[in-house]
Amino acid sequence: MSDLKKIKNEFLSKLQGKLDISEINQIKSDLFGKSGLISTQFKKIGTIAESEKKKFASDLNIIKDELQDLINSKINKFKSAEINKRLEQEKIDITLPERSFVRGKIHPVSQTIDEISSIFSEIGFSVEEGPDVETEYNNFTALNTPENHPARDMHDTFYLDEKKQKLLRTHTSPVQIRTMLKDKPPFKIIAPGRTYRSDSDQTHSPMFHQVEGLHIDENINMGHLKGCLNYFIKEFFEVDKIKMRFRPSHFPFTEPSAEVDIGYEMKDGKILIGEGNQWLEILGCGMVHPNVLKNVKLDSKKFQGYAFGIGIDRLAMLKYGINDLRAFFDCDYRWLNHFGFDPLDVPTNYRGLSR
């Protein structure tokens, strides 16, 4: 028997036995280590006669492959048994709770302001702001509401001085005045913000939010006003059709003035906008009064346009089914969590206002 055959038979029989991983590794090293039996045979190739060399090398390689495959498969068996054993031990109760997380929320009024801004952005309005503390002039007089005008009764005003010259703005309309004094026409702005009236009951809060709209150019008429508001209401409530009614009203700073109602009905305790035969007042608007334009030194023969004021909190209540206005500012954790919006839900045109 040649050496090669001897080696092969010896180790094949050795590998038949019950071996642990270290014994297999030992065999591997005995055969294929630096001075292992197989390695030594390979070194011998050079010394063998040319005529037998080819066969010898071929036999050796076959034996080498056979032994090596056997050893590797034995080792792999051990390895996978080991992993399987570990996996067996590592099984956990996956129904245990995840690590805790907290979720922040955006207040519905903030969300509504962003929705409104997004809608008006599409049709070319930009956002302007004004201070919460205003002068009596900007809040009333410049808006064609001189002292002793009965319309002032409708605004229960918070004052900051005895002379009643400084006050908390009762509407966002003074932003119209500031904008028109600061810039040059045309004007196309909305101005959302906090407003204040000393009134507090179920439907009134001493602080609330309004958004003012103003569009002044050379030929802006009531048709533009109607079209703009119709577009806004439809977009805001994300409905296909909207029932809308303009009816004459009076505001000192607009002439003609209108109040706008939208149609709705109650279904299963929920309000459905755009259907039904009930009317709900949602905003006031009109053509900016020539006296107001005069007060900001605009030529009312050349420039004209419309303005509107919408209660933001009320819009939010209607859209999101919130009943109590005062809860908006009560900061109840449960309420904020329930009605708040995920900060990633930024209202956009391409994705829509709400999910």
Among the listed residues 31, 8, 35, 22, the one whose alpha carbon sits nearest the alpha carbon of residue 74: 22
Which uninterrupted H or E stretch holds 135? Answer: strand 133-135
Only one of the segments 1-9, 16-24, 67-75, 250-258 lies at the binding site for another protein (rule: CB under 8 A); that segment is 250-258
Nearer of residues 72 and 200 to another protein, judged by Cβ: 200
Closest separation in Å from C-beta 276 to another protein: 16
Distance in angstroms (rounded) separating the CA atoms of residues 332 and 145 = 38
User: In which residue are the tokens 């919006």 written?
Assistant: 341
Between 7 and 260, CB nearer to another protein: 260
| Element containing residue 223 per DSSP (H, E) | helix 222-237
Residue reference for tokens 């002379």? 163
> Does 91 engage in binding with another protein (CB under 8 A)?
no
Tell me which of 29, 61, 76, 198 binds another protein, using CB under 8 A: 198
- DSSP for 121-183 reads HHTT-EE----SEEEHHHHTGGGT--TT-GGGGGS---BSSTTS-EEE-SSSTHHHHHHHHHS
Question: How many whole angstroms separate alpha carbon 112 and alpha carbon 118?
Answer: 10
In the complex, minimum distance from the CB of residue 336 to another protein, in angstroms, rounded to a whole number: 4
Residues 68-87 that bind another protein (CB under 8 A): none
Site for another protein in 24-63 (CB under 8 A): none
Contact segment (CB under 8 A) with another protein among 7-15, 36-44, 82-90, 95-103 equals 95-103
Which phi and psi angles does 83 have, rounded to 5°? -60, -45
Residue 50 or 98: the one with the smaller Cβ distance to another protein is: 98
Output the CA torsion sign for 336, 338, 340, 344.
positive
Minimum CB–partner distance for residue 133 and another protein (Å)? 5
CB of 139 to another protein, least distance (A): 10
- Strand pairing class (126-127; 187-196): parallel
CB of 98: closest distance to another protein in angstroms?
A: 9
Q: CB-based burial of residue 225 (10 Å sphere; 0-12 exposed, 13-18 middle, 19+ buried)?
A: buried
Task: Quote the CA–CA distance of 333 and 327 in Å, as a whole number.
Answer: 11
Binding residues among 299-328 for another protein as defined by CB under 8 A: 304, 328
C-beta of 46 vs 248, nearer to another protein: 248
Dihedral (CA of 248, 250, 256, 260) sign? negative
Interactions with another protein, residue window 106-125 (CB under 8 A): 106-107, 109-110, 114, 117, 120-125
| Two structure tokens written together for 204 | 């009134």
Per the structure block, which two tokens stand in for 263?
Answer: 């149609």
> 154-193 mask for another protein (x: CB under 8 A)?
x---xxxxx-x-x-x-------------------x-----
User: Is residue 277 near another protein by the rule CB under 8 A?
Assistant: no
Nearest-CA neighbor of 188 among 231, 225, 153? 225
Residue 239 found at the interface with another protein (CB under 8 A): no
Among 7, 31, 283, 287, binds another protein (CB under 8 A): 287
Q: Please state, in angstroms and rounded to a whole number, the distance separating the CA atoms of residues 355 and 351.
A: 9
Residues 5-24 that bind another protein (CB under 8 A): none
- Helix axis angle, 3-16 relative to 50-89, nearest 10°? 10
Q: How far is the CB of 179 from another protein (least distance, A)?
A: 12
- Compute the least distance from the CB of residue 91 to another protein, in Å: 17
Residue 226 CB, nearest approach to another protein (Å): 5
Shortest spacing between CB 261 and another protein, in angstroms: 9
Which residues within the stretch 209-238 sit at the binding site for another protein (CB under 8 A)? 219, 221-224, 226-228, 230-231
